[in-house]
Amino acid sequence: MDTWLLSRMQELRDLQGLIGLATWDQETYLPAKAGPARAHQLATLQGLHHERLVDPRLGEALAKAASQDSLSEDERAMVRVLSREREREVRVPSALVKALAEAQSSALHAWREARKAKSFAVFQPGLQRLVELRREQADAYGHGGERYDALLEGYEPGMRVERLTPVLTALREHLIPMVEKLAAAHRTVPRLFDGRRYDRDAQWAFTVRLLKDMGFDLEAGRQDLSIHPFTGGTHPLDVRLTTHLDESNPLSAITSTIHEAGHGLYEQGFAPEHYRTPLAASPSMGLHESQSRLWENIVGRSRPFWEHYFPVLRAAFPDALHGVDVDGFHRAVNEVRPSLIRVEADEVTYNLHIALRYELELLLVRDELPLSELPTAWNARMEKYLGVTPPDDARGVLQDIHWAWGELGYFPTYALGNLYAASLYRAAERALPDLSGHLRRGELLPLRDWLRANVHSQGFRLPAEELVRGVTGRGLTDADFLAYLREKYSALYGVSL
């Protein structure tokens, strides 16, 4: 490949890494008064990244490279991935970029006010403006009649409404009766978090042990504290996780560390030959999320995992966990209960929260639902899918920040993450016949190595579904996820699902 083109690819990756650094720092160590200064610095970096990406010389070099026969397969993939990203960026007029940034900023402010006032009406004009601009942006990107596709493409390249809707609808229809059965089942779980104190240092030590056991390389990454846990960093050898310590509930830190480490292992697992190129990236948010959810839920809430780790946990918190056994603990971390808040939802009800959001934002983007009716539509679906009614908009339609950021098309990637996770895990079980034995012995590396070889090291060579198909033998499906839930929760609840 042309030296100039390669150096531009590297420069773009370096800028993205620096945006990652400035963002990570903002959430971890930035002094309180430096917020506005950091916003300027980030805007400058993002402006430079945009300028370099839309540079016509880059477009010419990419076009020229695409027509060359001498490129390797990886080089062709690099050109393809960057061309796609560039074309999307080029198509949005800078006036629209500016209008979106302003609309996001004021919608974010309105959203915060609306949550305080518990009133969607306060947020409605800001959201209206954002939805209109995002429709405009979808048209600028281009689509085949379904605007939502153009937005989805920004998070889940290659995915389409036509493909996604039947899967999420069928999933929803399977989940509703399953949730009903589980909610009706009588079961006792120990109350672990009723005022007991869990020492912060011991929580931290436990999370670091998990990171090490999972094979997260602490010489090529780190863990820090932040209010909201996230995975960031600057490079596959500089992957930064954060967690959050809650003195009354160590599961908060434990599950968030395992979740973020799932993302982090993905980032650390990119192939060295892809570093500083467009291929050192996940092909989609959904596939990235599959890694965090596979570790957090399928591994980190499993019986074999806790057979190994519960004794360790009890040794770390001998007073708080006095009298609790692995059975009770495992039941407690797998309690299914229809609830109002997505981020607190268990793995059975979770996708119903997503189905609801996906359906609503599809209606909004298609202009088939007046915004004034959004809270009513939200509440109606909550009742229908989960049997619960939000007492106010703050615990209903206003609960997530995503729409205030103008993110339409993002929510379904969470469900895709769950579905891909189950399918990949099933494939891992076939490849590693003693997988649950490994977990029972605290051996997490065989699974990490299998994921690294089959998923992480592929980077962005293939679109997400195609990559999954290559590994599992089939593409997007709810079958593995539903089978996983049925098997696990039938046993846990003693009901037939």
Rounded to a whole number of angstroms, the minimum distance from the CB of residue 41 to a second copy is 5
Rounded to a whole number of angstroms, the minimum distance from the CB of residue 271 to a second copy is 15
Q: Is 237 in the site for a second copy (CB under 8 A)?
A: yes
Q: Is 22 in the site for a second copy (CB under 8 A)?
A: yes
CA 108 to chain centre: 21
Rounded to a whole number of angstroms, the minimum distance from the CB of residue 106 to a second copy is 22
Comparing CB distances to a second copy, the nearer of 231 and 234 is 234
Comparing CB distances to a second copy, the nearer of 148 and 270 is 270
Among the residue ranges 29-37, 250-258, 369-377, 418-426, the one whose residues contact a second copy (CB under 8 A): 29-37
Comparing CB distances to a second copy, the nearer of 33 and 322 is 33
Among the residue ranges 33-41, 101-109, 198-206, 354-362, the one whose residues contact a second copy (CB under 8 A): 33-41
Q: Is 221 in the site for a second copy (CB under 8 A)?
A: yes
Q: Is 368 a catalytic residue?
A: no
Q: Please answer whether residues 262 and 66 qualify as being in contact, where contact means their C-beta atoms are separated by less than 8 angstroms.
A: no
Rounded to a whole number of angstroms, the minimum distance from the CB of residue 55 to a second copy is 12
Q: Is 30 in the site for a second copy (CB under 8 A)?
A: yes
Nearest in space to 87 (alpha carbons), one of 133, 134, 48, 54: 54
Q: Please answer whether residues 205 and 164 qualify as being in contact, where contact means their C-beta atoms are separated by less than 8 angstroms.
A: no
Comparing CB distances to a second copy, the nearer of 54 and 479 is 54
Q: Which of 75, 153, 156, 260 is catalytic?
A: 260
Rounded to a whole number of angstroms, the minimum distance from the CB of residue 402 to a second copy is 28
Q: Is 183 in the site for a second copy (CB under 8 A)?
A: no
Rounded to a whole number of angstroms, the minimum distance from the CB of residue 234 to a second copy is 6
Q: Is 6 in the site for a second copy (CB under 8 A)?
A: no
Q: Which of residues 387-406 bind a second copy (CB under 8 A)?
A: none
Residue type, 480: D
Q: Between helices 3-28 and 35-54, what is the axis angle to 10°?
A: 160
Q: Is 55 in the site for a second copy (CB under 8 A)?
A: no
Task: Find the binder of a second copy among 82, 129, 152, 235 (CB under 8 A).
Answer: 235
Q: Is 10 in the site for a second copy (CB under 8 A)?
A: yes
Query: What are the residue numbers of the active site?
Result: 260
Contact footprint for a second copy (CB under 8 A) = 10-11, 14-15, 17-18, 21-22, 25, 29-34, 36-38, 40-41, 44-45, 47-48, 217-222, 224, 234-235, 237-239, 275-276
